[in-house]
Amino acid sequence: MRAYVIKRVFGMIPTLILISGLIFIVIQLPPGDIVTSTLDRMQSQGLEVSTEAVANLRAQYNLDQPLLIQYVRWIGGFLVGDMGYSYLFTRPVSELVWERLGYTLMITVSSLIFTWAIAIPAGIYSAVRQYSFGDYLITTIMLVGLATPSFLLALMAMYAGYEFFGISIGGLFSPEYRDAPWSFGRLLDFLSHLWIPMVVLGLGGTASTMRILRANLLDELSKPYVVTARAKGVKPMKLLFKYPLRIAINPFISTIGLLMPALISGEAIVSIVLGLPTIGPALIQALIAQDMYLAGSFLMLLAVLTVLGMLLSDLLLAWADPRIRYE
């Protein structure tokens, strides 16, 4: 087991290097750079900019260096927590990132839990009572959930929250708590706002997760070892939980790794619609303003999050499935 963990953890390193290279290429793609867009802005305001100032700016952002050096500086700074400076927010990127990352994580993790809390029982019921009325009902709801764009769901949730529950729309806090220090009241306020993004985000994931579990379970239900256990006289409920479900849950665990990118993707757009102070809305602002250091850092963090999610799911899988552990 230990060897597997070590192998898996160190296996992340080349992946992360590749990802960072990819992100660096992506943020280099747009024509022009911060300096040219800053210049455009200043010139449109009628300001004269000396060539010296331009050169200074370029040096400040390392733009006068070859690309490889720029990359190494960027990723090196990233490792020590220096992510550059956002001219869009006129603050160091790292400050911006940390406060938003927390909310992103909270929303993602809570919707992951929500997803499981719904998907696991629904998937089991649907597989065991295949073709029953309940099965059709669940699969229909899930299908609609899967097909509805998350921003549409977010809009509808906002509408429902306002119309039926009288909750203020959007954001993670009511106005009176927005800038207040953490307190019990603020926490309650936070939780009452958290459920909308949680449900909206979770619903899309729930559908796919449930389908996977249902399909796995149906596959396992017809396996010989289930018949053996039945022939042994194991009681039906125990049989279901101990044998097919125990195995069906394995590939299910590995989908956590795939659920993470999906959730983080969804989180970005849902946050934009709901106006949440997470990474998503800031990322799109940064992209539109071509604040590429900021955008690059956000992308890198999101990628690191998903890679960590995959690592976690692989380790969980190894813990759950002796066949992998013993390889």
Partner 1 sequence: MADNLLEIRDLAVEFGTDIGTTHALREVSFDVLRGKVTAIVGESGSGKSVTANCIMRLIQPPGRITGGKIHFSPNDAPAYDIAALPNKDPRLLDLRGGSVSMVFQEPMTALSPVYTVGNQVAEAILCHRNVSKEEAFEEAADMLRRVGIDNVDRRIQQYPFEFSGGMRQRVVIAMALVCHPQLLICDEPTTALDVTIQAEILTLIRDLQKDLKNSVLFITHDLGVVAQMADQVVVMYQGRVLEVGSVRQVLKTPVHPYTRGLLAAIPGLATKGARLATIASVVGDADLTTPHPLMTLADGRQVSLSSAQLADLELTDD
Partner 2 sequence: MSEVANQATPAVVTDLGTETLQEISPRQLAWIRFKRHRLAMISAGFLIAMYLITVFCEFVSPYNTDTRNVKAINAPPMSIHFFDAEGNFHLRPFVYSYDMEINADSWMREYKENTEEMYPIYFFEAGESYHMWNLFEAETHLFATREGYIHVFGTDQLGRDMFTRVFYGARISMSIGVVGVMLTLFFGVLIGGIAGYMGGIVDRGIQRIIEVLLSLPTLPFWMALSAALPVEWSSLMVYFGITIILSLFGWPGLARQVRGKFLALREEDFVMAARLLGAGRLRVIFRHMMPSFTSHIITTATLAVPGMILGETALSFLGIGLRPPVVSWGVLMQQAQNYQVIVMTPWLMIPGLFVVLTVIAFNLLGDGLRDAADPYNTGGNRD
Nearer to partner 2, 38 or 186 (CB): 38
Q: Which tokens go with 274?
A: 């709901």
Nearer to partner 2, 96 or 295 (CB): 295
Counting contacts by CB under 8 A, is residue 248 touching partner 2? Answer: no
Counting contacts by CB under 8 A, is residue 181 touching partner 1? Answer: no
Write out the binding residues for partner 2, residues 308-327 only, by CB under 8 A. Answer: 310
Nearer to partner 2, 20 or 110 (CB): 20
> 270: closest CA among 203, 210, 178?
203
Write out the binding residues for partner 2, residues 20-39 only, by CB under 8 A. Answer: 22, 26-27, 29-31
Among 42-50, 69-77, 149-157, 176-184, which window interacts with partner 2 (CB under 8 A)?
A: 149-157
Write out the binding residues for partner 2, residues 157-216 only, by CB under 8 A. Answer: 158-159, 162-163, 169, 211, 214-215
Write out the binding residues for partner 1, residues 235-264 only, by CB under 8 A. Answer: 235, 242-243, 246-247, 250
Counting contacts by CB under 8 A, is residue 227 touching partner 1? Answer: yes
The single residue among 10, 181, 232, 237 that binds partner 1, judged by CB under 8 A, is 232
Counting contacts by CB under 8 A, is residue 326 touching partner 1? Answer: yes
The single residue among 148, 168, 174, 192 that binds partner 2, judged by CB under 8 A, is 148
Counting contacts by CB under 8 A, is residue 155 touching partner 2? Answer: yes
Return the bridge partners of 86, or none: 91
Counting contacts by CB under 8 A, is residue 233 touching partner 1? Answer: yes
Return the HEC string of the chain. Answer: CHHHHHHHHHHHHHHHHHHHHHHHHHHHCCCCCHHHHHHHHHHHCCCCCCHHHHHHHHHHCCCCCCHHHHHHHHHHHHHCCCCCEECCCCEEHHHHHHHHHHHHHHHHHHHHHHHHHHHHHHHHHHHHCCCCHHHHHHHHHHHHHHHCCHHHHHHHHHHHHHHHHCCCCCCCCCHHHCCCCCCHHHHHHHHHHHHHHHHHHHHHHHHHHHHHHHHHHHHHHCCHHHHHHHHCCCCHHHHHHHCHHHHHHHHHHHHHHHHHHHHHHHHHHHHHHHCCCCHHHHHHHHHHCCCHHHHHHHHHHHHHHHHHHHHHHHHHHHHHCHHHHCC
Counting contacts by CB under 8 A, is residue 245 touching partner 2? Answer: no
Counting contacts by CB under 8 A, is residue 265 touching partner 2? Answer: yes
Q: Which tokens go with 14?
A: 């080349």
| Residues contributing to the site for partner 1 (CB under 8 A) | 223-225, 227-235, 242-243, 246-247, 250, 320-323, 326
Contact set with partner 2 (CB under 8 A): 14-15, 18-19, 22, 26-27, 29-31, 130, 139, 143-144, 146-152, 155-156, 158-159, 162-163, 169, 211, 214-215, 218-219, 221-222, 257-258, 260-262, 264-266, 268-269, 272-273, 280, 283-284, 287-288, 290, 295, 298-299, 302-303, 305-307, 310
